Structure 1
Amino acid sequence: MTTITSTFYNKLSNCLCPPGNGVFTVNTAKERKEQLHQTIFGQAVGVEDLWKSSLNQLPEASKAVILGIASDCGGGILRGANWGPLFLRSTLLETYPELTAFDLGDVRVIPHLLSDKYLNEATLANCKKALYQDEHSKYPISPLSITE
Structure 2
Amino acid sequence: MASKQTAPIMNQGQGETSYAHNSSIQNAEQNKMKSLIEGVIVELCSNAGTLQPRKIVIADLGCSSGPNALALVSIAVNAIHAHYLQFQQPSPEVSVLLNDLPENDFNTVVKSLVTLRQSNNPVVLTGITPGSFYERLFTSESVHLICSSNTYIGSQRLQKI
Normalising by structure 1, we get a TM-score of 0.29
Larger relative contact order (Cα-Cα within 8 Å, sequence gap ≥ 6): 2
Higher helix share: 1
